[in-house]
Amino acid sequence: MLTLQPPQLLFSFTLITGIFIAISSSSWFILWMGLELNLLSFIPILTSSSNRYSAEAALKYFLIQALGSASLLAACPLSLIFSHLATLIISSALLLKVGAAPFHFWFPPVMQGISWLQSLTLMTVQKITPIAMMNSLLHEMSTQIIILSSISSSIVGALGGLNQTLTRKIISYSSINHMAWLLATVSFNENMWLIYFASYTLISASVVAILHSAQIFHFNQLLTMNLLSKPLKLSLFLSLLSLGGMPPLLGFLPKMLVIQEFIFTHTSLIWLMSLLMSALLTLFFYLRMALSSLILSSTKLKTSLHENFSPSPLILPFLNLSPLLYPLVFLIIY
């Protein structure tokens, strides 16, 4: 059972406070203060892990985020003289903070050195402020920068996860690929990225809950999942398919909304094709993970997972089946 120590609770509270300060401020200086409060709260959370690589991951994360924050702070006075250069620096700093390509180099190594719950925070909560800033600065930011970063993220996220055997790196490249879709939603409207981000957070939480409960960090460990834990395997299978956007699961709905918006607004066809082709490639390594746990099991590798197995990780994954209930909800309402 997960228990948080008082220091972790304190830093978690200040982390959330930093996000609210940043997204609600109308001043660049207060926004920067919120970003720094969020950063300085997340570093102790990273180092609280018993993993021996957590200090290295925390140092990498600190250096990258400090570079992004320093770039933001330097771009503010620069905007009075060179507005276009300042816009480019701000856009690059925000893309660096969220780990979008071509500034993604730090994201997989940091994910590899931290625990699953910290990885979930890094993939979801830590992206709220930069994405909200991108949405508010959309008119000042160049559309070409967003398109280039989105296409690059889709390609890097899809190709980077193909040859990985470490599950945290696979999920990190998956997050980079989903960042491409999030950048596309940011370019449309605020409601769109909120819907996509909320769906992605729920699905990622369902995958991380299973991998954390079974303590799976390597691809081979998927083979050691006990043959008796079939509900665990089924829930992992559904969660990974939902993360890949397979209908009629939850992950399909936000992607369908994005595709509809692309068609209705006559946005770049090349952009849409890169997102769709990368989604097929990511679905391939999701299926490889799911089938490894579902089919390629060996009785010789059997562990005692069923002895200490808790049904709590199974609650979140079955939220992926919630779209099947939507017609019933509409019938009740109307």
Residue at 263 is within a domain: yes
Residue at 179 is within a domain: yes
Residue at 291 is within a domain: yes
Residue at 1 is within a domain: no
Structure tokens at 209: 């809950």
* pLDDT value of residue 225: 62
Residue at 55 is within a domain: yes
- Give one DSSP letter per residue of 116-157, joined into a string: HHHHHHHHTGGGHHHHHHHHHTTTTS-HHHHHHHHHHHHHHH
Residue at 225 is within a domain: yes
Q: Give yes or no for a contact between 241 and 282, defined as CB atoms under 8 angstroms apart.
A: no
* pLDDT value of residue 326: 60
Residue at 290 is within a domain: yes
Overall number of domains in the chain = 1
Q: Give yes or no for a contact between 306 and 226, defined as CB atoms under 8 angstroms apart.
A: yes
Provide the residue-wise pLDDT of the chain in tens; the chain has 334 residues: 455 677 788 899 999 999 999 998 888 888 889 999 999 999 999 987 667 788 899 999 999 999 999 998 888 888 888 888 888 899 999 999 999 989 999 999 999 999 999 999 999 999 999 999 888 887 767 788 999 999 999 999 999 998 888 999 999 999 999 999 999 999 888 889 999 999 999 999 999 988 888 888 888 887 766 544 677 788 888 899 999 998 888 999 999 999 999 998 877 889 999 999 999 999 998 988 877 767 655 454 444 444 444 555 566 666 777 776 666 555 555 5
The residue among 38, 55, 56 whose CA lies nearest residue 47 is: 55
Cβ neighbours for 194, distance < 8 A, ≥ 6 positions apart? none
CA dist list (Å): 61 to 67, 95, 158, 273: 10, 14, 23, 32
* pLDDT value of residue 48: 78
- What is the distance between the alpha carbons of residues 33 and 85, in angstroms, rounded to a whole number? 23
* pLDDT value of residue 29: 83
Range of the domain at 41: 6-333
- Give one DSSP letter per residue of 245-269, joined into a string: T-TTSTTHHHHHHHHHHHHHHT--H
